[in-house]
Amino acid sequence: MKLNGGPRWRRTGSVTSAFLGSSRSGWLRLWGCRGPHYTNRLAGTLTSEMALSKSMHARNRYKDKPPDFAYLATKYPDFKQHVQINLNGRVSLNFKDPEAVRALTCTLLREDFGLSIDIPLERLIPTVPLRLNYIHWVEDLIGHQNSDKNTLRRGIDIGTGASCIYPLLGTTLNGWYFLATEVDDMCFNYAKKNVEQNNLSDLIKVVKVPQKTLLMDALKEESEIIYDFCMCNPPFFANQLEAKGVNSRNPRRPPPSSVNTGGITEIMAEGGELEFVKRIIHDSLQLKKRLRWYSCMLGKKCSLAPLKEELRIQGVPKVTYTEFCQGRTMRWALAWSFYDDVTVPSPPSKRRKLEKPRKPITFVVLGSVMKELALKASSLGPETVEGIVVVTTWIEKILTDLKVQHKRVPCGKEEISLFLTAIENSWIHLRRKKRDRVRQLREVPLAPKNVIEALEEKKSPPKEPGSSQDVAQGPQESALGGPAPPEGESATVGGHGPNQDVLSQEENPEPTEDERSEEKGDMEVLEGCKGSSNGAQDHEAPEPFSSPVSEKGNHLQGVDGRYLFKCLINVKKEVDDALVEMHWVEGQNRDLMNQLCTYIRNQIFRLVAS
């Protein structure tokens, strides 16, 4: 039902309770979204559901504060007559009605920019947020935010339309001077009237130009002026079939939800927007530095790549592009320049499809295991810890031994969180690396026996024959710093018996049974967290927790900021057990986190088994 005497609602700040509806079409359509009607929603709900704030320009006033339709209806009678309210108190607007669309645009321009305009129903009715996005991007191109605000900026609007909205917004917001061109008689008359009734004739010059006139003919009379930019919203379609979506619209898409009021010259051109913009490119090749920036808005993404290729072929040195997103409707803009001193805004980063959040890698430490860990911790230090604290303490010790950077971060109750940064893969093949080091020591050439004896005699003080010192004398240190073998045996690093000197010549000694078992445990790391290790291993008990440092005592840092991965460990209490979760943050390969998780799990179980 229509409003009589104003809508009924409860005010809550600047937002009404009428915003709590579940429909999301009308205001979405103002941003370019589909749906026959609009329902105002609470600002936070509207933003999260439509995600329009993520892609609108950062300075767009509507990014975080959508209009309050109910408030506008009470303030502007012309808008109020098009607003509807249903039995649930939801305010809506019918975007199939050209008069309702026009009323919304005129009301927003009046309320937010102080502009009063008239638009014929037979011509294109612009949406304010989209046009505002384009204006803000031009500000970025010419460096308006960082320049002297008193400097007069000059721009050209190709095909300004009946509303003359780009010049009106640019002049009102930034004080720019505009040359606005138009080929259609009705659009020209309305544009000129809109400029005059807002007292902006000294800053906006509306010029009637012949058909197919773009830049060359428009600038003939002003050959001495250097313009900062040009803007253009070209006709998107090449013919009637394309305009109706017969041969260009995906059949799976729903039909357009709003009425198209554009005139022939506004929505159609020979060759569509692709050929239209190519003509602007060819004009720019002749004008070159008469304009610092040339820009156009595109309605179809498929037009962007061939136009960028055309600019590359023509050798244009500075090219950039951007996206304008209003709800579900996308527009693209292309800009190029022949100046070397211009600052080129970076194009938008490629959007990745939203991935489902990956489940963390987990393992459980049983309550009985936690008790054993607590006993080992109490035997190593005066402080007794238990529960998830002792599990976290041992994890921190394991990470310290691996030289993995870690620190505790804030978390919820009944849990402890660690943030990890792995600089190098130090948890794979540890036993093999140890054997390699032993092998290298065995390959070190030994000093002759007579040299060793001479050194020992030189270091040892003279002794009385038969003294007690002779009897109590322990093994002597060899020249290499290791224990000297008993008399009559050759000195062998790592040797354990009379025949162990043979091992000094072996290049690849066979691993022992314990070594094979240990290496097997290392290989489990490569297979991911799928089970638990129950075998008892000879393992030196880790020392109490200390901060991760390098061999030189300095805190570990990545080379040039490089790292393997970053992750978050959560140790949570679950009844009598502890749940350890590893959440991926970023890095080179998620399998590396899987390997580290398996290593930590195996080391904890080996602590108990030993």
In a domain, 605, yes or no: yes
Residue 104, both tokens? 């919304």
Domain boundary among 302, 337, 372: 337
pLDDT at 9 over 70: no
Of the pLDDT bands very low, low, confident and very high (cuts 50, 70, 90), residue 192 is very high
pLDDT at 83 over 80: yes
Please check whether residues 402 and 303 belong to one and the same domain: no
The beta-strand segments (E) located in 300-386 are 318-326, 329-337, 361-365
In a domain, 532, yes or no: no
- Max CA distance (Å), the chain: 128
Domain boundary among 337, 372, 396: 337
Please check whether residues 391 and 274 belong to one and the same domain: no
Any idea what the CATH number is for the domain that residue 373 is in?
3.30.310.80
Q: What is the pLDDT of residue 453?
A: 65
Q: What is the pLDDT of residue 376?
A: 80
Please check whether residues 319 and 414 belong to one and the same domain: no
Residues 269 and 234 sit within 8 Å (Cβ to Cβ) = yes
Any idea what the CATH number is for the domain that residue 275 is in?
3.40.50.150
Q: Give me the phi and psi of 579, to 5 degrees please.
A: -105, 125
Please check whether residues 371 and 328 belong to one and the same domain: no
Distance CA(275)–CA(268), nearest Å, equals 11
Please check whether residues 330 and 382 belong to one and the same domain: no
Please check whether residues 310 and 371 belong to one and the same domain: no
Domain coverage including residue 285? 53-60+122-244+256-337
Please check whether residues 330 and 368 belong to one and the same domain: no
Please check whether residues 371 and 228 belong to one and the same domain: no
Rg (the chain; Cα; Å): 38
Question: Worst-scoring range by mean pLDDT, 14-18, 205-209, 337-341?
Answer: 14-18
Residue 130, both tokens? 């989209």
Residue 277: burial class (beta carbons within 10 Å; 0-12, 13-18, 19+): buried
Question: Worst-scoring range by mean pLDDT, 94-103, 233-242, 406-415, 583-592?
Answer: 233-242
Of the pLDDT bands very low, low, confident and very high (cuts 50, 70, 90), residue 504 is very low
Please check whether residues 369 and 228 belong to one and the same domain: no
Please check whether residues 302 and 384 belong to one and the same domain: no
Number of domains in the chain: 2
pLDDT at 238 over 60: no
Question: Per the confidence metrics, is the pTM higher than 0.85?
Answer: no
Please check whether residues 279 and 417 belong to one and the same domain: no
In a domain, 140, yes or no: yes
pLDDT at 528 over 60: no
Q: How many other CB atoms sit within 10 Å of the CB of residue 306?
A: 12
pLDDT at 440 over 50: yes
Q: What is the pLDDT of residue 474?
A: 42
Please check whether residues 315 and 368 belong to one and the same domain: no
In a domain, 202, yes or no: yes
Q: What percent of the chain has pLDDT over 90?
A: 32
